[in-house]
Structure formats: C-alpha cells, structure tokens
Structure 1
Amino acid sequence: MDDVGTNFSIGFLDYFIFCGYFIVLSFIGYFSGRAKKDNSEEYFLAGRSLPWYVVGTSFIASNISSEHFIGMIAVALIYGICGGIAEWGTVFTYAFIIWFFIPFLLASKTFTIPEFLEKRFNSSMRSIFATVTIVVNITAFLASVLYGGGVILSQLFDWDLWVSIIVIGTFSGIWSVYGGLRSVAWTDFFTVIVMVAGGLLVTIFGLLHLSGDSQSIAEGFSIMLDRNQATTGVWKQAVDHNIGVFTQENHYNRLSVLQPITHQVSPWLGSIFGFLGVGIWYFVLNQFMIQRVLGAKNTYHAKMGIILAGYLKAVLPVIVVIPGLILFALNPEILLLPEEQMRLEADKGYIYLIELLIPIGLKGLLIAALFGAIQSTVNSVVNSTATVFTLDIWQRYIMPDLRQKQLVKIGMCVSVVILVIAMVMGRYIAFFGDGLFIYIATMYAFFAPPFAAVFLLGLFSKRINGTAALLTIAIGFVTGIGMKVAVSMFPATLAWLSPYNNQGFINWSICFVCCWSLSGFTPRSPADKLSADLVINWGKLDFFAESGEKWYTHVFFWWVLFLCIILGIFFYFSDATF
C-alpha cells in the first residue's frame, strides 16, 4: 500500500465525472444562494424555509467527512465492526432531538445554541459556550477535515500537503461565504446522493472481489465475516499480535459492536451511555449540526428531517465500516506492522480500495464522493462558526448597533478568516498521532460532557440555575484534565478509564451530580428563565404535536421502523457468533 499515491490512475471519463460534479454543485450553490441576503435570518438560517428532505440530507452531509472515509475505515480495519457503533448508536440521540428538543428549539425562535443557553441560564453561559464552540469548530472540525482532505489530494496526485489543504479549503468554503445556509443546505442535498452512490460502489465491488469467480455479493459478505472472525491463518495472527492495542483483555472479537470496558474505541460503558455526553453535544448543542434544524420550515419538517437522517445513519456503516472489514479480509498483514506504521497505512485504506477495486470510469464518482463529504462539512462548519461569532460575539460586544445587511457582510468576512486559520492548523494535525478519527473523538469527549449535562438538566428541571451551570462547566473541564493526568500516571490501574468514551461518560456523570447538587445551594432562576418554551412542562407535554396527520406521513411510524432496524443490527452484531 505504500505506493497508493504514485500508482493511482484515472482516465478521461473519471476527470469528466469529477468536473461534472463540481459544475452541478456550483450551479446549485449559485442559484440556491441568489436570494437577497439583506437580513441575518435569510443568510444564517435560510429564511427558515428548508423542507424535510433538505434538512435531513444536510444534517448527514455536515456529519460525514474525511474522518469517515479516511478515519472510520481505518478504525474498522484495525478494530472491526465496533466502529459502526458511532453511527448506529445515534438512535438514542435522535429520539431526544425529535421528541424533546425540536419543539423547544423552534418555539424559542433562536438563531444559535448560545442564544438559547442565555435564555435558559444567563449571558455568561452564552459567552462561554460561544467561545468554546468557535474553538472546537476550528480545531476539532475544520482543521481535521481539511487535513483529511489534504491527505487525500496528496496521495492521489502527489501534491505537497500545504498545497492540498489550501486547494481543499478554497474550493470547499466558497458557497458558505457566498450563499449562507441556503447554499450550504441545497448543495448538501446533492452531495449526499453522490456520497451514497459512490460509497456503495466500493462496498459492492469489494464483496464481489472477495467472492472470486462466483461474483456473488452474498458469498463475498460470508467470506468477509469468516475472515474477520480471525480464527485461523494470518487473520488470527494479526489479531493476536494486536491484543494490547485493542484492549487489556486476552481475547478480541472483531464482529461485536460492544467491546470490553478497556477497549480503546468502543468500550461497552462509553458506547451504551456515551450519547448522554458526546451525542447530545454533537447533534443537539453543536451549532453546525443543529443549524439546519433551526432553518426548517416548521416543526414537522424538522422532525421528519431528523428521521431521514436516522435512516441514512443506519446505511452509513455499509459505506464506511464494511470497506474496512473488506480490507482486513484482503490484507490482514497491515496489522502486523509496527503500531505507528499500521495506523498510517490504515489511513490510506480507502484510496487503496478505490485503486484496487474500481475500474477507470467510475473512480471519478468515488473521488467526487470523497470531495463531496469534505466540502459539505467545511461549508457547514464555516457557516455555523461565522454565525456564532457574528451574532454571539461581534454583535453583542463589539458593534451592537449594526444593521441586518452589515451583519451579513461581517459574517462573510468572518467566514474567510475562519477558513484561513483552519487551513494553517490543519497542516499540523498529523503531529497529534493516533489517527484522524481518534483525534476528533478525543476532542469531543473532553469538551462535550459538561455542556451536555447542564443542558439536559436545564431542559428537564426548573431546579437548575445559571450559577450552578457555570460552576459545573468549570468542574467538568478540570475533571477532564484530571482524568487524562491520572491515566498517564497510573495506566495499568486505570486501564478502564483510558478509553476516551469512558472518560466522557464519567465526566458527564460527575457534572450531572454537581449541577443538581449545586442548584440546591445557589439562587433560584428568575421566572423568565423558566418559561414553557425553555423548560419542559410535563403536565402539558404533547409528544405528537405537529408530527403528521396520516399514519404513513406520521413521524412516530417512521421513527418506530427506524428503531426496529437499529435494534435488529445491534442484535445481529451483539456477540457475532456466525
């Protein structure tokens, strides 16, 4: 796999398809963003006009990026099917978004999550969360995505990494600057179609390749599962060689979604309960994800958009996890390399599969899918970060009397500055080690738990107040740092605490208890912080309001079907004895 970049070959038809993708994308971005951008609601929230199919596809497009096509496939190659828990486990978070948060978020008529937190707690919470959002968006999202895209370009065309990152950043961020959320969301709609179609090609051709002369997808799938059980030959040798990398246990099952508590990527503790911390923060409090929900036409379109996103999440591991299992079935020798070299080779996995499996003429679609994943996330993060900075920082503290049109211009300028900073930071992501997906997930596990705990308690209970919330945020950051120091000092004793998922859940639990307890010793929130639009009134709660009139259009029907599909997948891969 060392010569992936130098030997990668593409033909005229590939260039034609790839260029055609950008032409269509530019057409959509230009015409969808032509609306007058003379007010902040139009530029930052698409005039609150997005239909459910755009909300859902844009929600997923913002989520999928280089850490999926590069990082998650690498994780699946090294660790197995458990990488899919990051996608399938969102069923719990999505249920919370649909049944609890959307009605409150849309009723509050907020532009940003920091603004919502100010309404519920105080202005300090808004400022702190806005600052953290900007920092995390640039360091954990934009920089890593640009780095992943730069790695792809440098491997494919043998470009310098700096040049690759600049090209990716420039071409990816243009529609965010030009058209705001409307351009971002509608280009995402097209991009998801390309990503799914292109991603499925690798899986289909990979299974056909495994099946040999029979050319049967079912036969290839069976062979893939058999080799990933790693009970014989070089596959068993590869797994046995890496037991210490996977977990502190003396055995390892590559075909189970839930792993021992010491597993570095999917320990059962963090996997089952992780949605309370990282999941709630990433999908609910994360501005660049929830912004398309804020831009929905109404509550029904917002709910159905998340339902569609859930179905896409169910399919996503077929595109970004199974290729990793296929690669292990084909080349288990990668896991016999020294750990650092193994991770570097694993990050080349997707490009290697494209070169090995995809005929000339279809490679252009796969490259378009990769770039689509990158540009959609870059667009979304740039737009949301500019939204938070402009409305929660600039307008409040620097120039509060700006007219609406001036706010839009500030947002455009800020978008460019954010993109440049992220390009510079993206160049140095590789120095953090452990692979792209692990780097991003570790960042989430540190920042997410305090805010998720405070938000959940504040939504469900009038007992929680702003003072307790601020103290809890401080405690959470100190706890996060303390756990990392403790693990580095006592790695053997605290092996169960080493996985970032476990750290995230433990930190969330501590913050939850602290916030509840501190609220009993601090002043009660004023009445305007406890209105029905900010705290759930359990006596008047109507789960099914604005959820559809007929059974086949009802949110509940499609949510139950989605839940059954995910539970079936969990059952099938629970212990994986085939």
Structure 2
Amino acid sequence: MSEFATLDWVVIGAYFLLLIGIAVWVMTRKTETTEDYFLAGRNIGWFVVGASIFASNIGSEHVVGLAGAGAGGKIPMLIYELHAWLVVTMGWVFLPFYIRSGIFTTPEFLEKRFNAQTRWFLSIFSLLAYVLTKVSVTVYAGGIVISSLLHIDFWFGALITVILTGAYTVIGGMRAVVYTEALQTVVLLLGAATLTIVGLNAVGGWSGMKASLEPGYLNMWRPASDPDFPWPSLVITSTIVGTWYWCTDQYIIQRGLAARNITIGRRGAIFGGLLKLTPIFLFLIPGVVALALKNRGELQWDTADQAFATLLMEKTPIGLRGLVAAGLMAALMSSLASVFNSCSTLFTVDIYKKLRPNAPEKQLLRVGRNATAVVVVLGILWIPIMQNISGVLYEYLQSVQSYIAPPITAVFLLGIFSKRINSQGAMATLVSGIAVAILRLGLELSKDSLTPGSLLHSFGAMNFLTFAAWFFLFSVSVCVITSLLTPAPAPETIVGLTYGTLTEEQKTANRNSYSIWDVVVSVLVVAIVIFVMVTFTG
C-alpha cells in the first residue's frame, strides 16, 4: 500500500494547528458557571448546534465501518444513516419540552416528568454504558484506524488522540467541544467528499460502479424471511434505536440544550438532519466503489473494513490523502470529545449535585473538570482490555444499543405523549428492561452451549432485530399496564411536560418559534430519505 507524502503530512499538520488554534481561542474565554461549562452558556447558534450533532455521531470507526458495510454486502445497514428524519423529529417533538423545562440532562427531564428514582436510574445506567461502550469502542477503533492509516504504533496513535482531545475538553468544556466540532465537520465532509468523487471517477461513475457489481447488490430491502436483515424487523428496530439515540440520549441532546432558544435548537436539529444524509453518499459509497474496483482487479484487500483505507491510499492523489486522513481524525476526536463532555455532565449534574445540592458553582466546575479527566484516564486504561477482548464480544458491545434502547424509548415516548403514564410505570419499564437486556446478552454469548430448540436457546439465538422489536412491545406493555394499575400522576405536577398538559401560552410560543423555511427544509429531509429508500432497491 502507498505511503503518505510530505504534502499529506503538511495537510494533516495544518488541520491540527487550526484545531489547536480554535481550542485555545475558546479556552481563553472565561468559564464561571456550570451553564457555561456544560452547555456553553446556552448561547450557541444553529450552525454550530447542527454541526456538533453530526460530528458527535460520526466517529472514525463509523466511517470505516459504513464503508465496510458497503464493501461487505451489508447494504441494509444504511437504514441507520436514514435516521435524518429522526434528527428533525427531535427538533420538532422532543427538544421544545427539554428546553422549556430548563434541564441540563435528559435524566433530569425524567425527574421532572416522573420522579427522582427514574433520574437516578437513567443517569447511573447511562454513565456506565458510556464508559464501558462509547469510550472504549471509540478509543479502540479509532486507535486501529489511525495506526493503520498513518503507519504508527497503535498505542502512540490512541494516546495522542485521547490526550489531545481530553485536554481541550477538560479545560474548555462544552464550548470548546462544539466549536472544534464545527471545524471537524467541515474537514470530515471535505475529506469524505474528495474520496467519493475520486472513487466514482476511477470506477466510471455510478453506472460503471453498478455494472461491476452483481445484480441486486444495492438492494437494501431483504425478504421478511432473511436470517440477517428481515425488512419488517429492520424498519421497526432501527426506528426504536434511532428514537432513543437521536431523541433521548444525553450524548446528542446536550448539543440542542446549548442552543440560545427553541427556534435555534430546532433549526440546528434540522441542519443536523441534512448533514446526517451525507454518510450514505460520502462513507457507504466509497466502500461500494472499492468492491467494484476489486471485482475488476484494480484493488486488493482482505477484509471489508480495509476497503476505505485501500481506496484512499491507492486511488487518491497526494495532498488529498492528507485531507481525507485529517477527516478521519476529526471524526475520532469529535466523538471522543462529545462522550467525555457528556460523561462529565451526567456525573456532575445528576450525581454529585444531587448528593451535594448546596455545592457552589466553582466547586461544581472543578468536579466537572476532574470527572472529564477521570473519563479520559479510564479511556486509556480500557485500551489494553479492549485489545484482549474477543472480536465477537467487541461486535456485541457495538450492537448492545439494540437491547438498551427499547425500554428507554418507551418511557420517553409514552411520558411525553400520554399524561396518564406515571412514575411507577416508568420505573417498572426501566428496571425490567435492563434485566431483559442483560439476560439476552448473556444468552447470546453462551448460545452455543445451550440445547438447540430450548426456550433459552431460542431467546438467545433470535435475530437481534426481531428480538428488539418484540422487546419494545414488551416495554410499552409494562409501562402502560403498570401505570393503569396505579394512581394517575397529579395534574399540577406535569403541566407543560406532556402534549396533553401544554398551556395556551406554551402552545402559542411554540407556534411562533418556527418559520415556513423550517418546515420546507424539514420536508426536504424527509423527501431525500424516501428518495434514497427507493433508489437502493436494486
């Protein structure tokens, strides 16, 4: 495989200098309150909100993995990239409730809507899940990507990115995160667009690419009997997981909470939805192009995950390689910064501040910075552990969201759309949900030792998409039945927290918070999603 030239290293160096410059500029601005540190003073514009939402979602492992899906025959997985409509839904449906209630975290919203127990449960669960999955997977996968791409030692690549990202996140807080993510979004999109254009040119355009693939390769819709991607389960489960991730997860929602007001937050979500459409064309297509070139004998790679790097190094001109590599590093660093900051916010606001309600602002700021530093250290300590974990378990860590999303999605959806759902129903759903998720994961890992055809084996071996769809129905049932069997919440405690309890003033303010252009662009996002679904039918 070709090596980077001097010009490539100059481009990569320029990216880092620009990133450091923005980080230093942001860090020179005073951070005196928790609102400054965790939500950038709630004064972020729509462009930065949208770019930050997008950059938080796209990690380097996401880029390489999506290209691998394109090269490895897993085209149905692109449905997760069509969740742009859910990003828009977050801005229209969920975000107004979050911003109106003045929360710092989504678990805090559960306390306002239900009780303190639901907040404690979701805060601790989210914090553990972030450290064990998001931090470890992002650091590990990012280290592999950077070490293989730049031909440097895995440890060196991982440590440099973790330490550099951790430094500006610890010192600058949310403001440093979102402004650097705005830059990283631009670099990532430029780099990926460059590779897509170069790749399509090399393969003879879209028609040349399709001609080099087997018939029906680009069909994302598999029969309901397909063992891997049955289309009904794929549509249902991807929507459940997408609702949890885009509409309720602190990791994403924190960017919307940093907006100046509901109008800006919604507009940022709509812009984020537009950006979310780009991975289909900028990350998936390079993988498909790499496969087409391999079929023609013009490229060679062993595994699908090598498709992106091989296409980059063999077909991209000198200088542009450095731009694409900088984009990959931007993807890694933005994801890391987001998870570091979200962990710090959850610990400081939802745990420490609850235990020490009278703690002064300066103390909370110090705790927030220390918490970020601890997560950075944990991320480094996880690297050797992740190196020794089997590839099978690594895949489960990445797909575990399909098992934790159903109960959380059920609680938030029912909590906002129904005023009858109470704290007992919410708590029963969360507790039973985590129990079922742990049981499923345990049985899935040990299914080979279970008797085929037995109840436990069937439970552990069921297609994960089908399982998650049934699991969501179970969660909704638990929430509704438990709520109906227990007293309804007092009406005065949930005013403005559900659609059925909005005041006339809130309804009027909501109607005045958007323009015709917000509606037009939102409809455009949905139209593009439908167009892609129709296009990828063969």
TM-score by length of 2: 0.91
Counterparts of 1:419 and 1:284, CA distance in 2: 26
Letter of the structure 2 residue corresponding to residue 357 of structure 1: K
Counterparts of 2:114 and 2:29, CA distance in 1: 35
C-alpha change, 1:318 and 1:39, in structure 2 (3 Å) is: same
Correspondence for 2:138: 145
Correspondence for 1:234: none
Correspondence for 2:118: 125
Counterparts of 1:200 and 1:265, CA distance in 2: 30
Instruction: After TM superposition, list the pairs within 5 Å mapping 1:54-93 onto structure 2.
Output: 54-91=48-85, 93=86
Q: CA deviation at 1:395?
A: 1.6
| 2:241 aligned with 1:267 | no
| 2:212 aligned with 1:227 | yes
Correspondence for 1:22: 16
Letter of the structure 2 residue corresponding to residue 55 of structure 1: V
Correspondence for 1:43: 37
| Structure 1 unaligned regions, length at least 5 | 1-6, 212-219, 232-252
C-alpha change, 1:423 and 1:491, in structure 2 (3 Å) is: farther
Correspondence for 2:182: 189
Correspondence for 1:566: 529
Counterparts of 1:260 and 1:509, CA distance in 2: 22
Letter of the structure 1 residue corresponding to residue 163 of structure 2: T
Task: State whether residues 84 and 529 of structure 2, in contact with CA within 8 Å, keep that contact through their aligned partners in structure 1.
Answer: no
Q: Which of 9, 14, 29 matches 2:3?
A: 9
Secondary structure of the equivalent of 1:277? helix
Instruction: After TM superposition, list the pairs within 5 Å mapping 1:334-373 onto structure 2.
Output: 345-373=303-331
| 2:433 aligned with 1:467 | no
| 2:390 aligned with 1:424 | no
Secondary structure of the equivalent of 1:331? helix
Task: State whether residues 496 and 503 of structure 2, in contact with CA within 8 Å, keep that contact through their aligned partners in structure 1.
Answer: no
Q: CA deviation at 1:571?
A: 1.4
| Higher mean C-alpha displacement, 42-51 vs 354-363 | 354-363
Letter of the structure 1 residue corresponding to residue 157 of structure 2: S
Q: Which of 473, 476, 479 matches 1:509?
A: 473
| 2:406 aligned with 1:449 | yes
Correspondence for 1:243: none
Q: CA deviation at 1:61?
A: 0.3
Counterparts of 1:491 and 1:260, CA distance in 2: 25
| 2:182 aligned with 1:163 | no
Task: State whether residues 187 and 327 of structure 2, in contact with CA within 8 Å, keep that contact through their aligned partners in structure 1.
Answer: yes
Counterparts of 2:466 and 2:29, CA distance in 1: 46
Task: State whether residues 276 and 453 of structure 1, in contact with CA within 8 Å, keep that contact through their aligned partners in structure 2.
Answer: no
Counterparts of 1:555 and 1:435, CA distance in 2: 43
| 2:159 aligned with 1:202 | no
Counterparts of 2:377 and 2:225, CA distance in 1: 39
Letter of the structure 2 residue corresponding to residue 473 of structure 1: L
Q: Which of 392, 413, 420 matches 2:370?
A: 413
Task: State whether residues 165 and 427 of structure 1, in contact with CA within 8 Å, keep that contact through their aligned partners in structure 2.
Answer: no
Q: CA deviation at 1:57?
A: 0.5
Letter of the structure 1 residue corresponding to residue 166 of structure 2: G
Q: Which of 496, 500, 514 matches 1:548?
A: 514
Correspondence for 1:331: 294
Q: CA deviation at 1:130?
A: 0.5
Task: State whether residues 91 and 266 of structure 2, in contact with CA within 8 Å, keep that contact through their aligned partners in structure 1.
Answer: yes
Secondary structure of the equivalent of 1:557? helix
C-alpha change, 1:463 and 1:472, in structure 2 (3 Å) is: same
Q: CA deviation at 1:156?
A: 2.9
- Percent of pairs identical after alignment? 29
Q: Which of 110, 113, 118 matches 2:103?
A: 110
Task: State whether residues 91 and 269 of structure 2, in contact with CA within 8 Å, keep that contact through their aligned partners in structure 1.
Answer: yes
Counterparts of 1:324 and 1:490, CA distance in 2: 39
| 2:256 aligned with 1:293 | yes
Counterparts of 1:113 and 1:490, CA distance in 2: 42
Letter of the structure 1 residue corresponding to residue 244 of structure 2: W
Q: CA deviation at 1:402?
A: 1.6
Task: State whether residues 496 and 502 of structure 2, in contact with CA within 8 Å, keep that contact through their aligned partners in structure 1.
Answer: no
Letter of the structure 1 residue corresponding to residue 405 of structure 2: A
| 2:247 aligned with 1:284 | yes
Q: CA deviation at 1:282?
A: 0.8
Letter of the structure 2 residue corresponding to residue 393 of structure 1: I
Residue by residue over 1:356-390, the C-alpha shift from the partner in whole angstroms, topping out at 9 and shown as x without a partner, is 11122211111110000000111111011100001
| 2:47 aligned with 1:53 | yes
Counterparts of 2:412 and 2:254, CA distance in 1: 17
Counterparts of 1:263 and 1:18, CA distance in 2: 44
C-alpha change, 1:209 and 1:355, in structure 2 (3 Å) is: same
Q: CA deviation at 1:180?
A: 0.9
C-alpha change, 1:34 and 1:533, in structure 2 (3 Å) is: farther
Counterparts of 2:37 and 2:53, CA distance in 1: 18
| Higher mean C-alpha displacement, 510-519 vs 163-172 | 163-172
| Higher mean C-alpha displacement, 324-333 vs 408-417 | 324-333
Correspondence for 2:488: 524
Task: State whether residues 83 and 276 of structure 2, in contact with CA within 8 Å, keep that contact through their aligned partners in structure 1.
Answer: no
Letter of the structure 2 residue corresponding to residue 190 of structure 1: L
Counterparts of 2:188 and 2:228, CA distance in 1: 25
Task: State whether residues 547 and 555 of structure 1, in contact with CA within 8 Å, keep that contact through their aligned partners in structure 2.
Answer: no
Task: State whether residues 495 and 502 of structure 2, in contact with CA within 8 Å, keep that contact through their aligned partners in structure 1.
Answer: no
Counterparts of 2:76 and 2:451, CA distance in 1: 26
Over 6 Å off, 4+ runs: 490-493
C-alpha change, 1:269 and 1:12, in structure 2 (3 Å) is: same
Task: State whether residues 261 and 496 of structure 1, in contact with CA within 8 Å, keep that contact through their aligned partners in structure 2.
Answer: no
| Higher mean C-alpha displacement, 286-295 vs 418-427 | 418-427
Task: State whether residues 161 and 427 of structure 1, in contact with CA within 8 Å, keep that contact through their aligned partners in structure 2.
Answer: no
Q: CA deviation at 1:164?
A: 2.6
Q: CA deviation at 1:495?
A: 10
